[in-house]
Amino acid sequence: MTTLIEPSRTAPPRVRPHTSTAISKWRRRGPLLPALIFTVVVTQLPFVATLVISTFQWNILQPADRHFTGLSNYGIVFTDGRLRAAVLNTVVLTASVVVISVVLGLALALLLDRRFPGRGLARTLLIAPFLVMPVAAALLWKHAIYNPDYGLLNGTLNAVYQFFGADHGPTIDWVSNFPMPAVVLSLVWQWTPFMMLILLAGLQAQPGDVLEAARVDGASALQTFRHITLPHLRQYIELGVLLGTIYVVQTFDAVYTITQGGPGKQTTNLPYEIYLTMFRKYEYGEAAAAGVVVVLGSIVIATFALRTIASLFREEVSR
């Protein structure tokens, strides 16, 4: 998985003797080999094991009945209605979390890009949600915020109602009525700071002279943002979207903790469905096959992500 980034064609020609013989190449690569081999062993061998397991009929509660079945597990994965629903839920969950996080993150990054007293503190506070453990965050949302009896949302409503003289506010069951939005919201809270950080880095890398020139030419703030800042941020947004997607596709904690995939199958995403297959059905072969399918999907996304990062580097080099 190592991609050596070749200096791009547009870079000024460097004065370097041509030593493109195989020996000298390996002399340079040699010291890296142990690390490379270690990385391959640690990251790729488990995947190979998963691939092998995915071709077996293997339910651990029937250890005697373990045999090779070829690709039949993949057939089950692609024809299973529950898995199809899980794919759809995963797409909806991931897309909405990423898009909303990017929009909010951009807004916050633009605010933080200005100078104001206490900026450092505001930035630290805004980053905090990203540093909370996913399970802890999910528990916090389930109990402290959504809980219909003692949660923050209903507590606030109750206080407002009582302020206007009512006996007791409405008891709204947020998670049951809006299961997917409830999960999405808790994830957006976690991922907005991540997007904000990436976009803030992008904003601070803006060349000042260009902004200056725009101001001198009489461009309004909106025009400057639309025609200069946004095109400049494009790659950073792409990077945020792709990295965010890779992570959010794997969301398990929020689903497991807040809704247990319910009500019904409405918030059962792929990782949770695989968990059910593995730990409720004990069908290791099926779970492995589903896992492989998810990995392949993620690899497609990751390829785009790596390309984006590579293009960022290229820009750095050509500067």
Partner 1 sequence: MRTRRMTHVLVTATAAGSLLVACSGAGGSTGSGGDGESINVLMVGNPQMEDIAELTKSTFTKDTGIKVNFTILPENELRDKVTQDIATQAGQYDVATVGAYEVPVWHENGWLHELDSYADKDSAFDKGDLLKPMVQSLSGADGKMYALPFYGESSFLMYNKEVLAEKGITMPERPTWQQVADAAAKVDGARPGMKGICLRGLPGWGELGAPLTTMVNTFGGTWFTEDWKAQVNSAKFKEATNFYVDLVRKHGEAGAPQAGFTECLNAMGQGKVAMWYDATSAAGSLEDPKSSKIAGKVGYAYAPVVETKSSGWLWTWAWAMPKTTKKADAASKFMLWASSKKYENLVGEKLGWARVPAGKRASTYEIPEYEKAAAAFGDITLKSIQEADPTNPGVQPRPTVGIQFVAVPEFQDLGTKVTQEISAAIADQTSVDKALNDGQKLAEEVAAKHQ
State the residues that interact with partner 1 by CB under 8 A: 46, 49, 52-53, 56, 59-63, 66, 68, 142, 146-150, 158, 167-168, 171, 173, 175-177, 179, 258-266, 268, 276, 279-282
* Token output for 91: 């797409």
Q: Where are the beta strands (DSSP E) in the chain?
A: 56-57, 67-68
- Taking the complex as a whole, the smallest distance from the CB of residue 289 to partner 1 amounts, in Å, to 15
From the CB of 285, what's the least distance to partner 1, in Å?
Answer: 11
Least Å distance, CB 173 to partner 1, is: 5
- Cβ of residue 137: shortest distance to partner 1, in angstroms? 16
Token representation of residue 61: 């509660």
Q: Which is nearer to partner 1, 236 or 272 (CB)?
A: 272
| CB-based contact 58:284 (threshold 8 Å) | yes
Query: Contact, 73 vs 55, CB < 8 A?
Result: yes
The DSSP secondary structure of 17-41, one letter per residue, reads: -----HHHHHHHHGGGHHHHHHHHH
CB 101 within 8 A of CB 188: yes
Which residue, 139 or 310, is less far from partner 1 as judged by CB? 139
| 57 backbone dihedrals φ, ψ, rounded to 5° | -85, 110
How far apart are CB 64 and partner 1 at their closest, in Å? 8
Q: Which is nearer to partner 1, 82 or 227 (CB)?
A: 82
Cα 240 from Cα 226, distance rounded (Å): 19
Nearest one of 306, 244, 254 to 98, comparing CA atoms? 244
116 vs 150, beta carbon nearer partner 1: 150
Q: Please, which residue, 179 or 193, has the CB nearer to partner 1?
A: 179
Q: How far is the CB of 152 from partner 1 (least distance, A)?
A: 14
- The DSSP string of 156-189 is HHHHHHHHTT-SS-----HHHHSHHHHHHHHHHH
**Is residue 286 helix, strand or coil?**
helix
Please, which residue, 129 or 169, has the CB nearer to partner 1?
169
Q: Which is nearer to partner 1, 149 or 217 (CB)?
A: 149
Q: How far is the CB of 131 from partner 1 (least distance, A)?
A: 22
Distance CA 9, CA 5 (A): 12
